[in-house]
Amino acid sequence: MLAGGCRCGAVRYRVDLASPPVTYCCHCTDCQTVSGASFALQLPVSIDGFEIEGDLAQATIVTPSGANSTHFYCAACLVRIYNINDRRPGFGVVRAGTLDDSAGLVPRAHIYVRSKQPWIALPDGVPAYDEVPPLDQWYRLLAST
């Protein structure tokens, strides 16, 4: 079980995972703009195993691929906690930086590297994709240990 929340403490969540957490870095311009950072460390989760408490605000954007992505934020401090995407029903993506302890997380892959900042050096041996690979390949990668 992993736990996390927003900066002000008004929103708290728990994630029930059957295996160690799998994360990836997204270098898309949407993640860069929304986070104000060079990339976002993401934790894909099953919505069935995700419990959240607190007052949330939400906004839906259309991604470069045409999907609708609904982002959920703490209504008080506006920290983005997670998002859902209409092309991946049943799954959400938690911003791994909101975990109480994210120090041991190592990204399994990097996506949207075509828009990564040029000074970021990607590690050898970690898959990197210009965009998102086909979903069947993506799910296999995230499920592998």
Domains detected in the chain: 2-143 (3.90.1590.10)
Order of strands, edge to edge, in the sheet holding 68-74?
Answer: 56-62, 68-74, 80-85, 91-95, 40-46, 23-26, 107-111
CA dist 67 and 48 (Å) reads 21
Lookup result for tokens 């995407």? 85
Q: Work out the percent of the chain whose per-residue pLDDT is above 70.
A: 97
pLDDT over 80 at 76, yes or no: yes
What pLDDT sits at residue 94? 95
pTM of the shown model: 0.87
